[in-house]
Structure 1
Amino acid sequence: MYSRILFPTDGSDVAAEALAYAVDVAAGHDATLHVLNVADTNQDSLTRIGGQVVDVLESEGQEIVDEAAARAAERDVATVSAVLQGDPVKTIVDYADEYAIDLVVMPTHGRRGLSRVLLGSVTERVIGAVEAPVVAVTPDEDREFVYPPRALLVPTDGSPAAGLALRSAIDVARETGAELHLLHVVETASLGFDVRSVVASDQLDARAEEIMTEAVDAAETAGIDSVTRSVAHGRPYREIRSYVGDHDIDLVAVGVHGETDFSRAVLGGVTTKILRSSSVPVLLRREAEPDDAA
C-alpha cells in the first residue's frame, strides 16, 4: 500500500514525536522512509548574511536527518536522507513528486527561528499542493498514537473530496484490519423552529441516509467487514471531536478541495479545525483541480 513515505523534519521536539509515528507507519507497511530537511534560503536574513549561515543550516540539517535515520534503523526501517535548500513548501512538494512518494507524514507545527520549516502554514500549504496523501500529526502528551490503527473515522459529506478520503481509509482498513467508522453530521445550528426548518431538517436527514448508504456500500464492496455508521446532529467540528473520544478513534481521514488557502476545505472549514487541534493523526486527501488532472 505504502512503499515510499516522506517525513520532512526540522529537528524540533514536535517533529521528533511525529517521527515516531512515521516510523511506525513505515514499519507497518515495510516501506522506505525518506527523511528530508529543508534549509529555508528564501528568508531575507539569510540572503543578507550569505553562504556561511546557509552552510551552518545545512550542517545542522544533516545532523537532524542522520539522527532521524538512526531512530528508524532501530526498527529496521530503511531510510533515504536528504538536506536541500529552497522554499520549504516547493521543495517538499517537488521531492514528493520526484520520488513518487506514496504518503507524507508531517507535524502540524515546528520550531521558530532561522531553521523553521514545519510551521502550521507550511504543513497546510503542502496539503494543498502535494498529490500524495498527507498524515498530519499534532503531538499530544496525554495520548499515545497508535499505528496500525484499531479504529479509523471518516467524516463524510458525500463530496468528491470526502470520497477520496473514504477510499484511502478503506485501503488502510483493509491493509491493517482496523474497524472503519463512518460519520455524517447534520448541521442544525442554523435551523430555526418554523415550518420551513422542519422541512429542511427532514431533507437533511434524508440526504444523510443517502450519504451513509453509499459510503457503507463502498466499504462493504471493498471487502471491509467491520463498518460502523453514525449520523449526528449539531456542529460538525464538535460532533467529530466527540466521536473520536467516545469511540477511541486512532486515525481520522478527511478530504480537501483542490489547491486551497485552507479557508476552503471539506465540511465547510471543519477540516481546518480538526487538523489544528486533533488529538489523533489526520489523513488528508486533496481533490485535484481540473488543471492537475489534465
Structure 2
Amino acid sequence: MADLQPHSVSKGHVADGTVSVPLFRHVMACLDRAPQAMQILHEASALASLFGADVTAIRVLPGRPSNSPCADPVDWELTRREEIADLRRLAEAAGAPLGMAAIVACGSPMACVEQEAHRRGVDLLALGAGAFGASHRWGLGGTARHLTETFHGSVLIVPEEAAGDLPRKRRILVPMDGSPSAEAALRYATAIARSRDAELVVLHAVSLSGLFGLGDAGQGTGSPWREVRQEADRLAADRIRRLRRLLPLDGKNNRVRRLDDDEPRRALMKAICEERGELVVLSARGLGQDPDLPVGSTADYLLSRAVTPVLLIRNTEPSSHRSTRQAPRRLAETWRAR
C-alpha cells in the first residue's frame, strides 16, 4: 500500500515508487447558517492545507435558478455582498486560507452546488448532514443525500451533533473490510493522522453469525458449526494481522480493533461512538459491487447515523476523481427521467 507522508502530499501528490498519485486539488465547503458551518469550513480548510488544494466556500440562497435574473438586481447585489462578507468573517474565524474563493448563488442548492463544483473542478465536497435544510435525526437531509450520492468526488459530512460538542480525542477512525478501496482510503487516513499527530484506529467487523448463509438458527454447538466458526475465526485473524502490517510504523498508538458477535454495521457504529474520534475516513464502496448503488450499504448506514465528521472517499484509483464525471445513479432516477 502506498504510504502517504504529510510532506509528500503538500503539493497534492504522493510518491509511490515511480507513480505519482494525484489527491484532492479543490475543496468546496457548502455553508448555510447552521451551527456547524464553522466546523465544516474548518475541516475543509484543514484537509485542503494537508493536500495542497484550493478552497471555495459557497452559500446558496433560496430563489429562482441562478441563471435567471433576480426580481430586483440592486437588492440582490446588496444581499450578495452581505453574504460574501459574512463568509469572509466565517473564514477568518475558521482559519481558512486567505485565498479562499467565496460564492453566493440564488436558486436550487443542489443545482447551484453541482454546477459550481463541476465548473471549478472540485473533487472534495464538504457539507453538513442537513445542508441547506433540516436534517433528520437518523439520516441525511434531502440535499445532503442527493449530493453524497451523485457528486463524482469524495464528500465530507459534518453532522449537527458535532457542532459545539466536547473536544474529541486526537483519533482517526477507519472502518475496513479488506477491500482494495478500503485500503486506499487508509492511505488518506494515514496522512491525516500524521498531520494532526493523531492516533490511527482501524475498525474491522467480523460477522460469524451470517457465514455461508447461516442465520441465528444455524448456530449451534455441533461439530459442523464449530468447524465453520473455527475457520471463520482463522480467516479473521489472518486479516487482522494483514491490517496491522498496513499501519504506519511511526505511530506508536496506532491499532486495529476487531469487532465480533454483532451485525457488522451496528458493530462499527457502536465502536465509532465508543472511540470518540475526531474524524471517520470511509471508502464509499467496499466488498459489495452492486453497480446500481452510488454508496455501499455499510457506508450509507454509517453516514446516516454519523455522530462525528465522516470523510467518504470515492474514486481512489490512481486516475483520481477527474477521470469520472459522477457516481453511479440509482435505477429509480433513471425511471423518473423517462
- TM-score, normalised with respect to structure 1: 0.74
Q: Does 2:39 match 1:12?
A: no
CA contact (8 A) 2:184 2:316 kept: no
Q: Does 2:263 match 1:235?
A: yes
Instruction: Tell me the alpha carbon deviations over residues 21-60 of structure 1, each in whole angstroms, 9 at most, x when there is no partner.
Output: 44565677786531112356678xx99x984289877865
Instruction: Tell me the alpha carbon deviations over residues 213-251 of structure 1, each in whole angstroms, 9 at most, x when there is no partner.
Output: 333323337x54442112111122332233233333211
Unaligned runs of 5+ in 2: 1-8, 10-23, 135-139, 326-338
CA distance in 2, matches of 1:145, 1:3: 29
Paired residue for 2:97, among 70, 77, 81? 77
| Structure number with bigger Rg | 2
The letter of the residue matching 1:18 is: I
Deviates more, 1:84-93 or 1:209-218: 84-93
* RMSD of aligned alpha carbons: 4.1
CA contact (8 A) 1:165 1:253 kept: yes
SS at 1:250 equivalent = strand
1:271 positional shift: 2.0
CA contact (8 A) 1:145 1:281 kept: no
CA distance in 1, matches of 2:117, 2:71: 28
The letter of the residue matching 2:324 is: D
CA contact (8 A) 1:128 1:260 kept: no
Q: Does 2:82 match 1:63?
A: yes
Unaligned runs of 5+ in 1: 114-118
CA distance in 1, matches of 2:232, 2:112: 43
Q: Does 2:57 match 1:35?
A: yes
Deviates more, 1:250-259 or 1:230-239: 250-259
The letter of the residue matching 1:68 is: L
Q: Which residue pairs with 1:120 in the alignment?
A: 141
CA contact (8 A) 2:128 2:158 kept: yes
Change beyond 3 A, Cα 1:136–1:121: same
Q: Which residue pairs with 2:172 in the alignment?
A: 152
Instruction: Tell me the alpha carbon deviations over residues 122-172 of structure 1, each in whole angstroms, 9 at most, x when there is no partner.
Output: 3233233434432210022672355xx711111111123322321211121
Q: Does 2:214 match 1:179?
A: no
Aligned ranges 1:39-54 → 2 under 5 Å: 39=61, 51-52=70-71
Q: Which residue pairs with 2:335 in the alignment?
A: none
Instruction: Tell me the alpha carbon deviations over residues 170-213 of structure 1, each in whole angstroms, 9 at most, x when there is no partner.
Output: 12122222111011111245443245544443343333333333
Change beyond 3 A, Cα 1:57–1:277: farther
CA contact (8 A) 1:184 1:231 kept: yes
CA contact (8 A) 1:255 1:265 kept: no
The letter of the residue matching 2:90 is: R
CA distance in 2, matches of 1:143, 1:158: 32
The letter of the residue matching 1:228 is: R
Deviates more, 1:72-81 or 1:152-161: 72-81
Paired residue for 2:182, among 135, 159, 162? 162
Task: Count residues with an aligned counterpart.
Answer: 280
Aligned ranges 1:246-257 → 2 under 5 Å: 246-257=274-285
Q: Which residue pairs with 1:116 in the alignment?
A: none
Change beyond 3 A, Cα 1:85–1:142: closer
The letter of the residue matching 2:258 is: V
CA distance in 2, matches of 1:170, 1:153: 10
CA distance in 2, matches of 1:109, 1:282: 14
CA distance in 1, matches of 2:121, 2:154: 12
Instruction: Tell me the alpha carbon deviations over residues 244-271 of structure 1, each in whole angstroms, 9 at most, x when there is no partner.
Output: 33333211111113999996644xx232
CA distance in 2, matches of 1:185, 1:154: 11
SS at 1:257 equivalent = coil
CA distance in 2, matches of 1:204, 1:55: 68
Paired residue for 1:201, among 229, 238, 254? 229
